[in-house]
Every structure is written in structure tokens, then in C-alpha cells.
Amino acid sequence: MTYRLGLTGSIGMGKSTTARLFAEAGCAVWDADAAVHRLYAAGGAAVAPMEAAFPDAIEQGAVSRARLKQIIADDPAALPRIESIVHPLVARDRADFAAAATADILVFDIPLLFETGGADRMDATAVVSVDGDTQKARVMARGTMTEAQFEQIRAKQMPDAEKRALADHVIVTDTLDHARAQVHKILDQIRNRPHA
């Protein structure tokens, strides 16, 4: 019986690194962001329907995230239309992954796991967490956004304390070794659980 673990966490909390730790420990990992990148890339399943709905969003045969951001900024009503195209494609990608995976534990790396009701499709959930100062320092170190942009993103996301309260497991990502130890502990608990 395959076990489905939902993995989530706010920006800068160490989710991508933690997903890699699960993969290293023998889990099959599905990444929601990577799925969207595949769908948006040239030849991806989202390109044709997006081009039909938003011709300006297409650049060199692919969906341009920058252009999509501009379209949403100009017309907030565009967002639900975009989501109605993309979400079913992402769901199909996730289902295809689950059908093809051979690992005993499947990890679903989903940024908006709780916000979108995705937790209901999981056997358990894990949230990555670290203190706010470390979170901010990590994001600023990437050099990809301003402090104001970071605060804007953080304000839109479900607060870390709420995610921790909803999750079955909390992984504190203060150090790589500590995160790895917690990943292994969770996997041991899952693999050694009494089977119903």
C-alpha cells in the first residue's frame, strides 16, 4: 500500500531542500512547481489552452510567467480563468506520477497544500518551518527579490503557526543534519506503523 505524504511550507522555509532529503531516503517526490514549469514549457499541455484564452501570455511557444503576472496585475479576474486551465492539468500530472511511482512512500511537494484542500488527499502532512529571521535571511540571500516583495509574499501565505497546527509532522530546518534526522524519523514512523 502506497503512503501519500503532503509536504508544504512557506517561502524560505527549506521545502525544496527537505524534498531532496525525502528523495535521498528512497521516496518518490512530486513537485507542484516543477509540474507547472513542465506544463508551461514549449510543447507543454498548458500552452495551447493558455494561448486560446490569453494569447499575450505566450512567448517563443511557451507560457511566460512574467507576462501572466502582468495580465493578472492588469485584470485580477484573469486569475480564476488561468487557474481553471492549469489546476486540472496539474492534477492530471500528479495522478500520472502516482500511478507510475514504485516507491512505498510518495511525497507531494505542494506550496499551497492546506490552502487548496490538497491535504485531504494525503495520508499525512508535513510542514517545514524555521524562525522568521532565518526565513527572511534565506530569501534575501537568493538575491531574486526585494524585502518589500518578500513581505508581500509572506503576507499572502498562510501563517507558519497555522500550518504547523494543521500538520501531522513539523520539520524544523535550522540545520541540514537536523532536517535530515527528522525526515528519517518520520519515514521510520510511517514504515513501522501498524497496518490497518
- Kindly report the pTM of this predicted structure: 0.90
Q: What is the pLDDT of residues 53-103, one digit of tens each?
A: 999 999 999 999 999 989 999 998 999 999 999 999 999 999 999 999 999
- CATH numeric code, 1-27+104-196: 3.40.50.300
From start to end of the chain, where are the E strands? 3-8, 28-31, 58-59, 62-63, 105-109, 124-129, 169-172
In angstroms, the CA 45 to CA 37 distance is 11
Question: Strand order in 3-8's β-sheet?
Answer: 28-31, 105-109, 3-8, 124-129, 169-172
- The segment(s) of the chain belonging to CATH 3.40.50.300 are 1-27+104-196
**Confidence band for 152, pLDDT divided at 50, 70 and 90:** confident
